């Protein structure tokens, strides 16, 4: 009796497990489209579009060989109507060697859905023959058999040649089919491809500062600042940027604010900007690119200005690691949409006294984000009273009038007290004479007579130093643009610097002679010393500003204003020296 009872328990347990298993496996995978896409930046995207027959009741599991786990940047699951939540890094049942993803459909059972894996560009490498190797999973890893698996690998341009090496054979085309694919397939493939020039640039787009400014009339102006690192062995001399298809008035500059040459190409999704750099970027080096353009303006609807379905970021054909979009609305405008309560943690709204600023942050942004139904675009609406335009203008007109009156009065006082190089030199000379008067007359040196030959020699020596400094700047510019070999640049630079040091010592000796001579010549030498000191300080300050700007530690407007201020100091000093040299030339005519 006991044995019969135990037998009944075992049978009921097995029946229950069989029922659960039947419920869990009440679907079959009829087809998987395994599409491997290589972005322009070398990032690899795997789209597995799964066709299911039956009902999925307990979620869906899919994976990749574990060797790819460290390269996965983003995973999303979606169908034609919505995006589904996922859980990353789960075991693929009890099998080892896989990195699993579990899709939660939350009661929905789609017949067709897609799981997209966005991977780094570490899987793409250059070959000695000028081609590329692409490492990718040959097939998807599922927990069930697949009747048909269609595989295709694509690039932004059609490959000139391709050879795919995988465990079940070598394929000489970019697509192949596998029937009756077993569950838990672990298969790695490597494609060796030759591509047209410009199809692929192995580079990291480290950051994007995407600034959208809307003026009082609703006009939209955009400024995008990219920071790009070359990860390829070959130097990087060009890059293709993606802009919205509606972009107009495009201007591209590098970190030196120099305009760059570019070519525009339209396609169905985006406007491609092929930019040629002013200088080559070697492996591991970074550079900045700034793109300015206009977009269609806001439309007035009822009492609000509206920008419908505004894409937060352009539809990139590359991957941006860190992206920040900043929307600046007209002064006096109040943001209506999106509402503050509807913003997620990636967005912040700053309400200043006169202006609203919306900031949105994102990571690993690419065209993949526009294939889903997540919030990759926003509806923007704001209230704005046109009275603000006249109010601001009136305020500044009154303020300007007051400042103008004060400025005229202050200028008259300042003009009488302005300290020129001549004033400063005279003050220093007076102090020197006072000190000399306190010295024992027997210890003072007898002033020397300055002859026309002395003056001519000083002018020629000083001009030689100016020419050598100009030559040094020309060498630096050639090196930055890659027009001179590194070894040759170092050798020539060392030679010029040695000549400059020798001439500087010679000039210093002549200056000391003129200072002892006293009179107008000593005064002019002091003025030259003061001007040279100001020029050196201005040059050093501009170099430091350029470094801070390249690192993103100073705003563009502050950088431009500070550079202008230091350039004015430099120009003023240079004009002062030219004036003194001209006076000296008149002495020997």
The answer to whether 551 and 559 are in contact (CB under 8 A) is no
Q: pLDDT by residue (tens digit) across 216-246?
A: 888 999 999 999 999 999 999 999 999 999 9
Q: Please name the residues in contact with 358: beta carbons below 8 A apart, sequence gap of 6 or more.
A: 326, 327, 329, 335, 347, 348, 349, 350, 380
0.75 cut: is pTM over it? no
Residue 115 vs residue 470, higher pLDDT:
115
Q: Is the pLDDT of residue 493 over 60?
A: yes
d(CA 495, CA 208): 41
Q: Is the pLDDT of residue 194 over 90?
A: yes
DSSP-derived 3-state class of residue 548: helix
**Mean pLDDT, residues 179-199:** 95
Strands 175-181 and 299-301: unpaired
Domain 27-194 fold = Immunoglobulin-like (2.60.40)
pLDDT at 386: 58
Please give the sequence-ordered ranges of beta strands (E in DSSP) within 218-353, or none if there are none. Answer: 220-230, 236-243, 248-254, 261-266, 271-281, 286-295, 299-301, 304-311, 320-328, 334-337, 347-351
Residue 45 vs residue 257, higher pLDDT:
45
The answer to whether 354 and 384 are in contact (CB under 8 A) is no
Provide the token pair at 265: 């190409």
**Mean pLDDT, residues 236-265:** 93
The answer to whether 271 and 243 are in contact (CB under 8 A) is yes
**Mean pLDDT, residues 66-83:** 94
pLDDT band at 199 (very low <50, low <70, confident <90, very high): very high
The string of DSSP letters for 203-223 reads EEEEEEEEEEEE-TT--EEEE
Burial per residue of 347-368, b for 16 or more beta-carbon CB atoms within 10 angstroms, e otherwise? beeeeeeeebebebebebbbbb
Q: Please name the residues in contact with 545: beta carbons below 8 A apart, sequence gap of 6 or more.
A: 554, 559, 562, 563, 566
The answer to whether 328 and 211 are in contact (CB under 8 A) is yes
Residue 220 to residues 241, 344, 359, Cα–Cα distance (Å): 20, 24, 16
Residue 237 vs residue 411, higher pLDDT:
237
Comparing C-alpha atoms, which of 48, 26, 21 is closest to residue 37?
48
Comparing C-alpha atoms, which of 135, 161, 160 is closest to residue 65?
135
Domains of the chain: which residue ranges?
27-194, 203-385, 417-587
Q: Is the pLDDT of residue 410 over 90?
A: no
Strands 377-383 and 304-311: antiparallel
Q: Please name the residues in contact with 298: beta carbons below 8 A apart, sequence gap of 6 or more.
A: 214, 218, 220, 305, 306, 307, 380, 382
Q: Is the pLDDT of residue 339 over 90?
A: no
pLDDT at 506: 85
Strands 320-328 and 203-214: parallel
Fold matches, 27-194 and 203-385: yes
Least-confidence region, from 83-92, 274-283, 577-586 = 577-586
Domain 203-385 superfamily per CATH: tricorn interacting facor f3 domain (2.60.40.1730)
d(CA 262, CA 242): 12
Residue 337 vs residue 159, higher pLDDT:
159
Among 32-41, 56-65, 302-311, the range with the most confident prediction by mean pLDDT is: 32-41
d(CA 258, CA 477): 13
d(CA 58, CA 56): 6
Provide the token pair at 231: 């990860």
pLDDT band at 70 (very low <50, low <70, confident <90, very high): very high
d(CA 422, CA 358): 53
Residue 224 to residues 198, 213, 288, 313, 324, Cα–Cα distance (Å): 22, 11, 10, 10, 10
Q: Please name the residues in contact with 244: beta carbons below 8 A apart, sequence gap of 6 or more.
A: 270, 271, 295, 311, 314, 315
pLDDT at 405: 52
Comparing C-alpha atoms, which of 227, 170, 184 is closest to residue 550?
227
Q: Which residues pair with 108 in a beta bridge?
A: none
pLDDT at 427: 59
pLDDT at 418: 44
What average pLDDT is seen over the chain?
82
Among 38-42, 440-444, 509-513, 569-573, the range with the most confident prediction by mean pLDDT is: 38-42
pLDDT at 400: 62
* In the chain, % of residues over pLDDT 70: 82
Least-confidence region, from 312-326, 398-412, 472-486 = 398-412
pLDDT at 508: 86
Least-confidence region, from 172-181, 312-321, 338-347, 490-499 = 338-347
């Amino acid at each position: 009796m006991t044995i019969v009872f135990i037998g009944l328990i075992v049978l009921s347990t097995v029946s229950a497990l069989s029922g659960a298993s039947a419920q869990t496996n009440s679907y079959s995978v009829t087809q998987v489209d395994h599409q491997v896409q290589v972005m322009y930046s070398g990032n690899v995207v795997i789209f597995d579009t799964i066709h299911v027959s039956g009902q999925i009741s307990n979620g869906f599991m899919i994976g990749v060989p574990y060797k790819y786990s460290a390269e996965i940047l983003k995973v999303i699951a979606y169908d034609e109507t919505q995006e589904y939540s996922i859980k990353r890094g789960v075991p693929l049942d009890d099998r080892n060697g896989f990195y699993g993803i579990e899709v939660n459909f939350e009661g929905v059972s789609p017949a067709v859905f897609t799981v997209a894996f966005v991977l780094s560009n570490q899987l793409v490498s250059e070959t000695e023959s000028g081609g590329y190797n692409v490492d990718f999973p040959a097939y998807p890893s599922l927990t069930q058999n697949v009747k048909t698996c269609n595989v295709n690998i694509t690039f932004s341009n059609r490959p000139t040649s391709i050879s795919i090496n995988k465990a079940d054979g070598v394929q000489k085309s970019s697509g192949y089919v596998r029937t009756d694919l077993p569950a838990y397939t672990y298969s790695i493939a490597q494609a060796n491809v030759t591509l047209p020039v410009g199809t692929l640039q192995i580079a990291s787009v480290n950051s994007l500062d995407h600034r959208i400014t809307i003026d009082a009339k609703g006009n939209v102006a955009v400024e995008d600042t990219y920071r790009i690192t070359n990860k390829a062995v070959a130097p990087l001399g060009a890059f293709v940027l993606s802009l919205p298809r509606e972009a107009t008035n495009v201007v591209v500059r590098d970190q030196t604010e120099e305009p760059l040459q570019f070519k525009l190409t339209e396609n169905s999704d985006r406007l491609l900007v092929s930019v040629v750099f002013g200088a080559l970027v070697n492996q591991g080096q970074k550079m900045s690119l700034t793109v300015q353009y206009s977009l269609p303006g806001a439309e007035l609807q009822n009492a609000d200005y509206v920008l419908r379905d505004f894409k937060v970021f352009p539809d990139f054909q590359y991957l941006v690691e860190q992206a920040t979009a900043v929307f600046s609305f007209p002064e006096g405008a109040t943001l209506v949409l999106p509402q503050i309560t509807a913003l997620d943690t990636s967005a912040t709204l700053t309400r200043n006294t006169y202006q609203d600023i919306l900031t949105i942050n994102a990571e690993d942004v690419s065209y993949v984000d526009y294939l889903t139904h997540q919030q990759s675009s926003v509806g923007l609406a704001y209230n704005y009273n046109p009275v603000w335009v006249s109010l601001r203008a009136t305020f500044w007109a009154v303020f300007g009038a007051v400042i103008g009156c004060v400025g005229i009065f202050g200028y008259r006082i300042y003009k009488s007290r302005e300290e020129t190089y001549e004033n400063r030199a005279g003050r220093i000379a007076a102090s020197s004479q006072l000190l000399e008067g306190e010295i024992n007359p027997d210890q003072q040196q007898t002033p020397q007579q300055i002859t026309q030959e002395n003056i001519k020699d000083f002018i020629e020596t000083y001009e030689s130093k100016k020419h050598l400094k100009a030559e040094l700047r020309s060498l630096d510019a050639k090196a930055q643009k890659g027009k001179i070999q590194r070894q040759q640049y170092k050798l020539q630079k060392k030679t010029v610097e040695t000549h400059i040091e020798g001439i500087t010592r010679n000039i210093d000796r002549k200056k000391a002679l003129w200072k002892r001579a006293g009179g107008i010549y000593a005064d002019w030498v002091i003025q030259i010393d003061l001007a040279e000191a100001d020029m050196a300080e201005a040059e050093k300050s501009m170099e430091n500003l350029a470094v801070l700007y390249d690192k993103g530690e100073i705003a563009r407007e502050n950088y431009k204003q500070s550079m202008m201020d230091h350039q004015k100091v430099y120009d003023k000093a240079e004009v002062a020296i030219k004036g003194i040299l001209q006076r000296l030339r008149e002495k020997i005519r």
